[in-house]
Structure 1
Amino acid sequence: MSARHDPQRRRDRPAERDEERRAFREEAESLVRITAAPTIWSGHFLLCYCAVAIACAKAGAVPGWLTGGLLAASVAALAAIGWVGWRAFRQWNVTDTGDFSNPEGEAEDRHEFLGHAAFLLAIISFIGVVYVTMPLLLVEGCR
């Protein structure tokens, strides 16, 4: 009997498709998670530097309300990056498995690797937001 007319093969297809869709959805979420923290960092960077540049160009000084608003935006960015990092750490699953490397290269290993990469990017992004925020606290004037 050919594979084309095999009724058993036809019944297995929906289950296979559901499994493939679930795996694809998890990987798509992982790819979004891996880009989330750097995107938050870059948005925060643009917001802070553009707002201060416009304020310095127009008024010659940064008003206190702008500094306060940018500090609030910094806290929000740090909280968002912390949340993304926590989710990525849970996806990495290193505390449950104890495995820092997985040489087999199975689908679950790739999923955990994406969590590991997203976690490391969240750490770098967190540090980046802190460094972007430091001039708001330490530099008083525009020059």
Structure 2
Amino acid sequence: MNDESNTSDRPREDEDRHAFAAEAHSLWRITFAPTVWALHFVLCYGLVSLSCAKELIPIATVQAVLTALSLLALAIIAWLGFRSLRQWRVLVTGQLEHPEGTPESRHRFLGHAAFLLSVISAIGVIFVSMPLILIGGCQ
């Protein structure tokens, strides 16, 4: 009888797998905006180095391409941020905190974290793009 009471208190393994599978897309969503930022960073510095150090590409062409890539990166990050904001549901519920620790509150927290990472990533893309606009060419 004691063994039965111990097993009924613990969640079933199926429930754990189902709960984790439901949040797997939310866990991936957290990484998307910083990944876009990182790719943007590598492309910016890589193309500028090819233009300035190796003189393989004209700097005006690099600036035009990177400006377009920066706008594309910001659009992708904004879309990811909007989706994360919808998952967070703060605009619908008005609740910033969910202290009860339910699966729904954990789902909302992942949306909150993804939204904040999207904001940070957008700021990063803007700061990496600023030299393209402010500096005329290779110095």
TM range (shorter): 0.7 to 0.9
**Equivalent of residue 129 in structure 1, options 102, 125, 129:** 125
Q: Which runs of 5+ in 1 are unaligned?
A: 4-12
The yes-or-no answer on 1:114 pairing with 2:104 is: no
How many positions carry a matched residue from both structures? 131
Cα separation, 2, equivalents of 1:100 and 1:54: 46
Matched with 1:97 is 93
CA contact (8 A) 2:50 2:56 kept: no
Q: Secondary structure at the match of 2:25?
A: helix
**Equivalent of residue 86 in structure 1, options 78, 82, 85:** 82
Q: Taking every aligned residue pair, what percent have the same amino acid on both sides?
A: 53
State the AA in 2 paired with 1:126.
Answer: A
TM-score (norm 2): 0.84
Matched with 2:33 is 37
Match runs of 1:7-18 below 5 Å: 17=14
RMSD of aligned alpha carbons: 2.2
TM-score (norm 1): 0.82
CA displacement 1:37-60 (0-9 Å, x = unmatched): 000001000000111012111129
State the AA in 1 paired with 2:20.
Answer: F
The yes-or-no answer on 1:47 pairing with 2:20 is: no
Q: Which runs of 4+ in 1 moved over 4 A?
A: 19-22
Matched with 2:69 is 73
Q: Which runs of 5+ in 2 are unaligned?
A: 5-11
